[in-house]
Structure 1
């Protein structure tokens, strides 16, 4: 049985490598790998297993979709444009404070949707323009945009890597807020210092940049800017502290309510056509992420049926701990580059089981791994966030030079994640429920 499962695993790895090389699509490659694995494992064409797997992470996909609808409707009202213009007006002459506020602006969309790419779609262009006017080079702007997109994806309340690992390991997705926020603040400050210490000889005037930024619609004010996020905060706090006094809303419905609140802030400009355009735009943005979640579910279901997933889990559990520490910064990002969010399940879940078996804090472990996996979003074959960053910033150098540009903050983020992985019990005071 062990030999048979090993052969199936080898064939699946070879199939995935060949499909990724020829098709350049991790999602299609994962589905093809799942079908081949089922055929080799004697299941025939696995229609039932594929359908079951595709719906495994249906709830996660709904969170993705509804959160993206909310943030896109909020952006379409002009609130983001107004917020950026206010930041420039008030703080353009204070470089360090400007960078802090631009970093926070980058984090908000990704933190609410779980996808760093959404941060780039929504505010990446505006932030890149402001930083270019401030005189920063394309290299530093690219590093800033990419790292904060990664931090946005890792930030609570929605950290998809941690959510997937928690779901597979049968552990609750609670206690992650502080243990994620502390390293995020450290990494963000390092990235800001790294960016801010570069030379900025071609700084434009405040008047020039304000003339170039898009104008918010007439009547936009602080009430309209803050209200949608206030509604989100109130609903989340009610779900946490008044859970037995209100109906169970869930995150998808919460984001739908917030989307409606955003639309009501600008209801004079909203009609059926406007709603339809935003929905189409959102689906274009989110489709790669939904495709990844669906294909990951199908692949994991087939791996479970054929025993390959169990083989990987047993293999990891029997490995020396030092081997995981040494190779984590190499394997985790490359697994993300190849498998996207599937890396959290296929590679991360066995590590959680292993660490739990020796008495290490699994919440800190999952948080540490969720800092390591997103580093691979700039690596082949997927390069999802890396490609978006290059396109948004207008980086004209080679992709290898882009990787060199982000190397220092990239390695710093990896080092923080690795330290958390090595010392989870020493950091368990950060796990606050």
Structure 2
């Protein structure tokens, strides 16, 4: 019965995706049908209980979106982009790296690749084009940066889903996630645009004044509160951190911002992600009740390790093409349990990165589709084809991190190595800029 129900769930996923149902609605319908097959009735209490399974993640995404909308409305994101373009125009490769991090920041805050593309990715696009990137390369870089930003700390919903599924605290993920995302994004940005970049033709004279400094207060508050919370000096959680920072952003903007309107805008933009989280919670509850979840875990525990590595490297991203959050929940949790003996934090981090790759894969191709819209391309196909080599490299890197998780965890725990490698990448970029400027 469990095997039949498992294939029924997978079949419904593909059918509803082909029919272009919203993914949140798809999860809800699959949960309803599965529950009806198992219990021969629809017990609403089971679905409601499952809907609240990822309530922490729902609050985190909603408040994070409130924060990103608030600082976007205040003009902070635009000011950062213009300041970077003006200050580092003489070193275009350094500007390329800094703008890549800016493009990532939306995903780091919201935990959503599409939200990142539409906010910080859209802000970064004019900077990328001003230093010589065409629409295709800018779109590829924005899409990949947004996906990597979605996986980077502090908000990684895929990792949160995996942690809640195995009752593991979301603690100690900061540096493993930074290792997997920041150097990767910087190296990929140099591969994509390193040869094409040039000094911007037009430069604005951007200066800091008292009003501009006030705009940065909510960002600084968010960083300070996150650091204090991570060290246990305060314990208010990410949702409260983002909420307080949003309030400060609205107050410091110098304009009469309607808090209610900003909240509604944030809710509208985050609703697809919230619906997916609620739907995934329902499905996991039904899968647990029916024994399907236990079937998956039990079978994976007896797979040979070599087969497991191949399966996680291909299965998690391909399932993530339907939903990266669903992939993290349905496959990520049993895979984490199957890779016994390794470092759980690093394994969960790598699996979340594999799931995140799914946002760029068809049929949904969420990040690539939105990125194509932002850069003005008619189809996401060009962005997807140009991204394939980099996605393959990220997938191999993730699987290697899982295989050698015990050894790499000690290396990844050392923050000095991380910042040292990041510094080397920046020094390399600056050195190339200096060499090119001397030639001219």
TM-score (norm. length: structure 2): 0.88
C-alpha change, 1:217 and 1:198, in structure 2 (3 Å) is: closer
CA contact (8 A) 1:337 1:379 kept: yes
The Cα of 1:18 is off from its aligned counterpart by: 2.1
Partners of 1:290 and 1:364 in 2: CA distance: 26
Are 1:184 and 2:174 an aligned pair? Answer: no
Ranges of 4+ aligned residues in structure 1 off by more than 4 Å: 215-219
Partners of 2:302 and 2:413 in 1: CA distance: 27
1:325-355 Cα deviation digits (max 9, x unpaired) = 1232321111111233021111011111111
The Cα of 1:198 is off from its aligned counterpart by: 3.8
The Cα of 1:216 is off from its aligned counterpart by: 11
Gaps of 5+ in 1: none
The Cα of 1:296 is off from its aligned counterpart by: 0.4
Are 1:10 and 2:7 an aligned pair? Answer: yes
The 5 A counterparts of 1:22-37 are 22-37=19-34
Q: Which residue of 2 aligns with 1:152?
A: 149
Partners of 1:379 and 1:110 in 2: CA distance: 18
Gaps of 5+ in 2: 416-440
SS in 1 for 2:101: helix
The 5 A counterparts of 1:323-362 are 323-356=307-340, 359-362=341-344
Partners of 1:204 and 1:178 in 2: CA distance: 34
1:238 to 209, 228, 241: 228
The 5 A counterparts of 1:1-400 are 4-199=1-196, 205-207=201-203, 210=204, 220-221=211-212, 223-241=213-231, 243=233, 248-267=235-254, 269-271=255-257, 274-356=258-340, 359-396=341-378, 398-400=379-381
- Across the aligned residues of Structure 1 and Structure 2, the Cα RMSD in angstroms comes to 2.2
Partners of 1:194 and 1:239 in 2: CA distance: 36
1:398-425 Cα deviation digits (max 9, x unpaired) = 4333211112222222221121012111
Q: Which residue of 1 aligns with 2:432?
A: none
Partners of 2:15 and 2:182 in 1: CA distance: 40
SS in 2 for 1:341: helix
The Cα of 1:204 is off from its aligned counterpart by: 5.1
Partners of 2:361 and 2:180 in 1: CA distance: 22
CA contact (8 A) 1:377 1:383 kept: yes
The more displaced of 322-331 and 94-103 is: 322-331
The Cα of 1:219 is off from its aligned counterpart by: 6.1
Partners of 2:380 and 2:134 in 1: CA distance: 16
Partners of 1:152 and 1:37 in 2: CA distance: 34
CA contact (8 A) 2:152 2:178 kept: yes
The more displaced of 70-79 and 26-35 is: 26-35
The Cα of 1:432 is off from its aligned counterpart by: 6.8
Partners of 2:53 and 2:263 in 1: CA distance: 24
SS in 1 for 2:168: coil
Are 1:408 and 2:408 an aligned pair? Answer: no
Q: Which residue of 1 aligns with 2:398?
A: 417
The Cα of 1:137 is off from its aligned counterpart by: 1.6
CA contact (8 A) 1:19 1:32 kept: no
Partners of 2:176 and 2:55 in 1: CA distance: 27
Partners of 1:261 and 1:289 in 2: CA distance: 25
SS in 2 for 1:206: coil
The Cα of 1:261 is off from its aligned counterpart by: 1.2
Partners of 2:246 and 2:103 in 1: CA distance: 19
Alignment length (residue pairs): 414
CA contact (8 A) 1:79 1:220 kept: no
The more displaced of 329-338 and 398-407 is: 398-407
C-alpha change, 1:309 and 1:101, in structure 2 (3 Å) is: same
The Cα of 1:364 is off from its aligned counterpart by: 1.1
